[in-house]
Structure 1
């Protein structure tokens, strides 16, 4: 029997708090789960610094990746023997679903921002490079790693396959909304996934939803909207991200200025130099990163030491609302006042912005690829979701943006009560 068709002697199951069970019968999938590259995802949290806001948010990219795989497995099960579905692409879909987040680094997006990296580039590098994952994929067929990479990169020729893990209603979003809601303890991310899976249908270029399932899709869209603003963009989580980002910036600056660290940060050296290869990337996870933060608490540099202590012991920055269009003169004055008070504004005065577009449809001539959600009518015609749903129409194309100003309130309060600088800083921040 060919490797791609090989089944396990007995089905393997992972107990899962969201889907109850994750089922594995394919030898290829089981072998991929056992690779060092995939096991590394156990050491990368799904929600980055959110565990400092929601104490239950300790789940990993490993959990999520298995969940996305399971949802795609169930979708495909429903698609068998339907028009437009090619059974030969079943294993490709399952593999891409399992591996779609393989390249995430420690604390994901914050880490990427500092070192100007893209986890999708590393996902492709792991799939196509000299790795255990690549060796398994090549056993399926020599071109299989490239096909998997193309699906994840959204360049695969069959857009139906791509839409299963990357669209406005895909397995990726359906898993992380429910999983993140479960582990953060909030109720916003829940929606009727069972209903959505039952009414999903394959079409030539994408997955569509029967019109009878429109209300379940509305609920899904609104769940996503609420999760972004109540969980993903929570201001306390963003405070932790600000400090995390500043720690990495400070360590990089010190390294570039030949500072002598108490412990040489050799896991970060190639990143500081902008020369990180795949081997260095795979060695770095959140356990290693937090180890350095613990060590750096004892560094002689007061800024690095203080920032690391804040992150490790959750002594975070406070925040106020900030309108960059109205407050730039106050921002400049604050910057000067912080310098006067001996508080480095480069590390202790930070504007952070978050924005989200909950749903949109394709607008010719505008940037960004937006594959809309289509409803399948009883006469087999397709209608874009916002044309049938007043709820979705109300939020379509509307980007919401939020700005916060972060600062160490304790350092400001520690200034002398007679200080005019302290008084003016408090006036600007709190009115």
Structure 2
């Protein structure tokens, strides 16, 4: 079994959330300096949230470093409580560091239109012809495969998997604290020090001392508030709607042979649906923004308008929408069509939903690993059995529906038609 190769001197990153990120292992340092990991500096952590919270410009790079640092601290607290080999510790640290390495520009919007998933690309980066793969194989030829299994949640050591992928793991703890810090909100803050102190390793996962239950409750409620106040903010969602429409329009125009003023060379593999790993790794948010700047000067009025809206933050407005009101949506589509406003690009129902906490129920398809409390007697009890707060939200999925549209285009229509559309939307004249 290989032993740690330590750097001559510890490397330290200054971090606003954890104060410092410590790196002593040369293996980890080399992974951080790989081209694939450095690419994460050019991919925002929060996608379009910077339109709503101007401080939310942080990257997948500093989130990944933060998850690594939390994992390092967790492993320190486990010393003397459970025996882990150097390989097992390294798997934990590498999974924490590299769990998001497959994310692309404006991840979720881009994935939705071009129909891929970032976790598939993460595995491709770990197993393919990359600097990261070559570094991982320095430890052992089987190490990249084991790491891919950890991130894919199929690795046989459940403790290692739970540390990076569960309802309370290093990834979630970092992004809640980090996203709260950069967006300037208080919702995502919780007692991280207390949670680390009451975390206990077991062979099949992590548990938490009963005395720390209130800190875990605080974490659950912080997550709930962050999703509804930050991640699902309607202004952020409006920007995502426009972003998806831009990609959809570009994809359609390309399929129709539209003569772009400048051929979108970097996007051709995606438009042609022939994407290789090298093509994917060459793409980041600066490339997408570059093409938007070009496309806002295109002849196509829809692509031109959508890109200008995104770049200038002239976003769609929204109203609450009842998904059972099929007649309303149908009528609005007809009205938009008659007004010369293409409803395919300018009328969109957006749905958000979140399940803040749940536990496994026999017979249900999706496995949910519960958060377990360790009672003073040593007995393990599922969190919602002891917490009235968590019990109140367990298994309750909340949905939100909004209808997005360009109010400025509606207002510019002739009086009667504009008034009719605004009446159906429930929008006042001075909105």
Q: What's the TM-score once normalised by structure 2's chain length?
A: 0.98
Displacement of 1:236: 0.2
Alpha-carbon distance in 2 for matches of 1:367, 1:233 = 26
Find the partner of 2:358 among 347, 350, 360: 360
CA contact (8 A) 1:160 1:207 kept: yes
CA contact (8 A) 1:106 1:284 kept: yes
Query: Which residue in 1 is equivalent to 2:414?
Result: 416
Alpha-carbon distance in 2 for matches of 1:28, 1:162 = 21
Alpha-carbon distance in 2 for matches of 1:428, 1:309 = 27
Alpha-carbon distance in 2 for matches of 1:83, 1:152 = 22
Query: Which residue in 1 is equivalent to 2:249?
Result: 250
Alpha-carbon distance in 2 for matches of 1:321, 1:156 = 43
| Change in 2 beyond 3 A, CA 1:366/1:84 | farther
Alpha-carbon distance in 2 for matches of 1:360, 1:372 = 7
Query: Which residue in 2 is equivalent to 1:395?
Result: 393
The Cα offsets for residues 80-126 of structure 1, whole Å up to 9 and x where unpaired, read as 12136455411110011000000001001111000110000000000
CA contact (8 A) 2:190 2:218 kept: yes
Give me the CA root mean square deviation.
1.0
Alpha-carbon distance in 1 for matches of 2:53, 2:276 = 33
The DSSP-based 3-state class of the residue aligned with 1:125 is helix
Query: Which residue in 2 is equivalent to 1:18?
Result: 17
CA contact (8 A) 2:74 2:196 kept: yes
What pairs with 1:318-337 in structure 2 (closer than 5 Å)? 318-325=317-324, 327-337=325-335
The Cα offsets for residues 280-318 of structure 1, whole Å up to 9 and x where unpaired, read as 100110011001001100000000000000000100000
Alpha-carbon distance in 2 for matches of 1:294, 1:369 = 44
Matched, 1:155 2:151: no
The DSSP-based 3-state class of the residue aligned with 1:22 is strand
The DSSP-based 3-state class of the residue aligned with 2:116 is coil
Query: Which residue in 1 is equivalent to 2:423?
Result: 427
Query: Which residue in 1 is equivalent to 2:209?
Result: 210
Displacement of 1:416: 1.6
CA contact (8 A) 1:84 1:203 kept: no
Alpha-carbon distance in 2 for matches of 1:52, 1:355 = 21
CA contact (8 A) 1:8 1:26 kept: yes
Query: Which residue in 2 is equivalent to 1:406?
Result: 404
Q: List gaps (5 residues or longer) in structure 2.
A: none
Number of aligned positions between the proteins: 427
Query: Which residue in 1 is equivalent to 2:133?
Result: 134
CA contact (8 A) 2:4 2:86 kept: no
Alpha-carbon distance in 1 for matches of 2:255, 2:308 = 22
The Cα offsets for residues 180-224 of structure 1, whole Å up to 9 and x where unpaired, read as 000000000000000000110100110110101000000000000
Query: Which residue in 1 is equivalent to 2:111?
Result: 112
The Cα offsets for residues 234-264 of structure 1, whole Å up to 9 and x where unpaired, read as 0000000000000000000000000000111
The DSSP-based 3-state class of the residue aligned with 2:257 is coil
Alpha-carbon distance in 2 for matches of 1:86, 1:203 = 15
CA contact (8 A) 1:250 1:304 kept: yes
The Cα offsets for residues 343-363 of structure 1, whole Å up to 9 and x where unpaired, read as 000000000000000000101
The Cα offsets for residues 30-54 of structure 1, whole Å up to 9 and x where unpaired, read as 0000000000000000000000110
Query: Which residue in 1 is equivalent to 2:371?
Result: 373
The DSSP-based 3-state class of the residue aligned with 2:247 is helix
What pairs with 1:29-428 in structure 2 (closer than 5 Å)? 29-83=28-82, 85-325=84-324, 327-417=325-415, 420-428=416-424
Alpha-carbon distance in 2 for matches of 1:389, 1:86 = 35
Displacement of 1:421: 2.3
| Change in 2 beyond 3 A, CA 1:136/1:88 | closer
Q: List gaps (5 residues or longer) in structure 1.
A: none
CA contact (8 A) 2:126 2:144 kept: yes
Alpha-carbon distance in 1 for matches of 2:65, 2:336 = 47
The DSSP-based 3-state class of the residue aligned with 2:358 is coil
Q: What's the TM-score once normalised by structure 1's chain length?
A: 0.98
Alpha-carbon distance in 2 for matches of 1:422, 1:107 = 34
Runs of 4+ in structure 1 deviating by more than 3 angstroms, as ranges, are 83-88
